Amino acid sequence: MQANILGACRAAVAALCVASAAAAAAPKQHWTIVDVGDLGAPFNSAFAQAINNRGDVGGWSYGANTQIPNHHGFIYRNGTMQDLGVPAGFFATNVNALNNSGMAVGDTNQNPAIYENASWTVLPVQGTFLDVNEGGTAAGSFRFGNATHAMTYKDGAMTDIGALINGGSVARGINNAGTVVGTATFPSGFTFPQPSQAFVYENGSVRLLDTLGGKTATGADINNAGTIIGTAQDASGVQHAVVYEGTTPRSLGLPGNSSAQAINERGQIVGQTDTSSFLYDNGTITTLESIPEVQAAGWTRLTPMAINDRGWITGVGLKNGVGRPFLLMTN
């Protein structure tokens, strides 16, 4: 009996030593933050809001003339900013999303637009694109009479997802299966905030998702596993960053008001609270402003807009008190 006990103890100690050695051998996570807009003329006042798995960053930037609306969409790749220009007859472009093939989608400040093969394709409607999947299907919204309708577009064909209950809708995310998430708004008279719910569109039908007991909820993004994120209000009026489990939102448990912006294939989520930005990773919350490399580089008040499958994050923040676009990379 004593021999068995001693053997068990030795095994336990050995297992503990192996676990400790593995923990010691695990590389420490390091971050690097890059000022995407720190490339000199002709780029000024840049805004980053898209990233793909290659690490390309998309957004828009003012040129030497900073007067609105003279801004151009850009793609930042390996330290070089490519000016995507403006199609003939228009005065501005924005990039809101990128896929891994480098297709960029956004708008001309008025019309939905796609940049591919070194040229812009502009739709003959008012609206915008907010996301694009790997199959090249873009999702966004367009003006239909006095309302805004969510829509998808591919190869010259636009699908009107419609507006619900005489309100409006906008598509904000699409995965590779073509499932769309977004926000449906409802008539409210003079009520503020305007009532809204997140929605899912798949196989030609729309399904509304719940709030947390409040008047508003939004759908922000969806990954290929079908995980939906967004923001939902509770009965007391507090906004929560949420993950949807079926039609029911689950709060990420952040303090105060919070919102979720984007999710990657690893299930990592980025967003904001009242006072800071966050990375949510399997129940662990990292405040981006608390990362030592971020602090050392003089960055504060980050607003993350997108995250790729490598865990790289892009958005805007204050660098030494000045608004700048950033790329936050991890090993």
- Tell me the per-residue pLDDT of 91-143, one tens digit each, with 9 for 90 and over: 999 999 999 999 999 999 999 999 999 999 999 999 999 999 999 999 999 99
Round the CA-based radius of gyration of the chain to a whole number and report it.
22
The reported pLDDT for the residue numbered 67 is: 52
Residue 14 lies in a domain: no
Residue 145 lies in a domain: yes
Residue 26 lies in a domain: no
pLDDT surpasses 70 at 315: yes
The reported pLDDT for the residue numbered 38 is: 64
How far, in Å, CA of 216 to CA of 239, rounded? 9
How far, in Å, CA of 182 to CA of 327, rounded? 26
**Residue range 280-289, pLDDT digits in tens:** 999 999 999 9
Range of the domain at 141: 31-330
Residue 9 lies in a domain: no
Q: Look at 12 and 54; give whichever has higher pLDDT.
A: 54
pLDDT surpasses 70 at 145: yes
Query: What is the CATH number for 206?
Result: 2.120.10.30
The reported pLDDT for the residue numbered 198 is: 96
Cβ(184)–Cβ(199) below 8 Å? yes
What would the mean pLDDT of 250-263 be, rounded to a whole number? 97
Q: How confident is the model at residue 167 (pLDDT cuts 50, 70, 90)?
A: confident
Residue 267 lies in a domain: yes
How far, in Å, CA of 290 to CA of 280, rounded? 14
Residue 97 parent element (H or E): strand 94-98
pLDDT surpasses 80 at 291: yes
Neighbours of 84 (CB within 10 A): 22
Residue 23 lies in a domain: no
- Give the rounded distance of the alpha carbon of 84 from its chain centre: 21
What would the mean pLDDT of 194-202 be, rounded to a whole number? 93
| Dihedral-angle region of residue 320 (phi above 0 means left; psi in -120 to 50 means alpha; beta otherwise) | left
Residues 6+ apart with CB under 8 A from 212: 232, 233, 234, 235, 240, 242, 249, 251
The reported pLDDT for the residue numbered 50 is: 98
Residue 39 lies in a domain: yes
Q: How many helices (H) and strands (E) does the chain have?
A: 2, 28
Burial (CB < 10 A; 0-12, 13-18, 19+), residue 297, is middle
**Residue range 47-106, pLDDT digits in tens:** 999 999 999 999 998 765 555 457 899 999 988 889 899 999 999 999 999 999 999 999
Cβ(50)–Cβ(97) below 8 Å? yes
pLDDT surpasses 80 at 188: no
How far, in Å, CA of 303 to CA of 297, rounded? 16
Residue 18 lies in a domain: no
> 3-state class of 56 per DSSP?
coil
Number of structural domains found in the chain: 1
As a whole number, the mean pLDDT across the chain is 88
pLDDT surpasses 50 at 171: yes
